[in-house]
Amino acid sequence: MHFNIGAVLNDKTLSVLEVAPEIDARGFHSMSVGEHTHMPVATKHKYANSADLPDIYKRFPDPWVTLTAAAACTKNVRLGTSICLIAEHNPIILAKTIATLDQLSGGRVDIGAGYGWNPPELLNNGVEFKNRRQVFRENILAMKALWAQETAAFDGEFVKFTESWAYPKPAQDPHPPIFIGAQPGPRTFHDIVTISDGWMPDRSWLGDQMEDHFKRLRIACQEVGRDSGDLYFTLSGVNGFRRNTIEEFRERLPSQDLIEKWRALGFRRINISIPVQERSFMLRCLDATRDVMELVS
């Protein structure tokens, strides 16, 4: 089982320049950061009204700049988003940004990609909420064309550009893996099996129906003639975010038996969230997570 370390970094936390080398030194497979381009005051969060919106949602740094900094101070850890809001980007610019980072990092980029949940954030980026899935899909297809082809053009409903060169190409051939982070459902499963390399659901989305969701996803693979064994599955949200002591953090880490259960279902990686507000506590949490990783490796 691979272990990914999720870190909510911002101007109030430790710098990625402090966090990433410690993740790399402990041999974790990957690290990931999230994204919000901005946070409109009119945001309605599912857990709170806008007045009580958690501060972290207002402070996300640019994920690709952050991961570029991480690439410069690490050697082995893979660098990913959890998640990048693909529909909120110009696909030509985003394709170049990702390809450049993949080159600079020696092919260590993973793309965790999501549709977006915040209507005003999407709208401020020029996308109506009802269109976000189609824009997401066209952006993905357009970027894949720019990465894989000598020259590429695209003529979609929302994305259009003429025949163009776009260099550099990614170090990974044909491109960094794309993992869709979205709730289970027919449309999500269709995108997973037709335009992505895997799925990274949150544990809370699956509840006690993990096995049923996997069955439906494998049926979706069969319908398009794709081998489900080609897909890479990451389980996020396995240890929550609330913790005040190292004992509480350890209690929230998954047990060996639970990890083996997830492995048997098809998951190949789990995403462990760590606190990054204070260095000594972060290091203790990383060490506790490494202990679990060594038990199941």
Domains of the chain with CATH codes: 2-296 (3.20.20.30)
One-letter amino acid for residue 19 of the chain? V
Q: How far apart are CA 255 and CA 296, in angstroms?
A: 9
Residues 63, 35 contacting (CB under 8 angstroms): yes
* pLDDT over threshold 80, residue 47: no
Q: What is the mean pLDDT of the chain?
A: 95
CA 100 vs. chain centroid, Å, equals 18
Alpha helix stretches (DSSP H) within the chain: 16-25, 63-72, 91-104, 119-124, 132-148, 186-195, 203-206, 210-224, 246-252, 256-265, 279-296
pLDDT at 104: 98
pLDDT at 141: 98
Take residue 71 and report the two structure tokens written for it.
């690439």
pLDDT at 84: 98
pLDDT at 236: 96
Q: Rounded mean pLDDT of 114-125?
A: 96
Span of 5-14, 43-52, 61-70, 268-277 with lowest mean pLDDT: 43-52
Q: How far apart are CA 270 and CA 224, in angstroms?
A: 27
Q: How confident is the model at residue 243 (pLDDT cuts 50, 70, 90)?
A: low
pLDDT at 240: 76
* pLDDT over threshold 90, residue 191: yes
Q: Rounded mean pLDDT of 190-206?
A: 97
Q: How far apart are CA 198 and CA 200, in angstroms?
A: 7
Q: Rounded mean pLDDT of 125-138?
A: 98
DSSP tag of 62: P
pLDDT at 241: 65
* pLDDT over threshold 90, residue 145: yes
Q: Rounded mean pLDDT of 130-157?
A: 98
Take residue 122 and report the two structure tokens written for it.
């999407």
SS3 106: coil
One-letter amino acid for residue 278 of the chain? E
Q: How far apart are CA 206 and CA 213, in angstroms?
A: 8
Q: Rounded mean pLDDT of 123-127?
A: 98
* pLDDT over threshold 80, residue 51: no
pLDDT at 49: 57
Residues 6+ apart with CB under 8 A from 18: 279
Q: How confident is the model at residue 163 (pLDDT cuts 50, 70, 90)?
A: very high
Percent of the chain residues past pLDDT 90, beyond the cut: 92
Q: Rounded mean pLDDT of 226-233?
A: 96
Q: Rounded mean pLDDT of 196-218?
A: 95
Task: Please tell me the total number of residues recorded for the chain in this structure.
Answer: 297
Q: Rounded mean pLDDT of 238-258?
A: 88
Span of 61-75, 83-97, 107-121, 241-255 with lowest mean pLDDT: 241-255
Residue for token pair 């509840």: 207
Q: Rounded mean pLDDT of 28-32?
A: 98
* pLDDT over threshold 60, residue 50: no
Residues facing 4 on adjacent strands: 30, 271
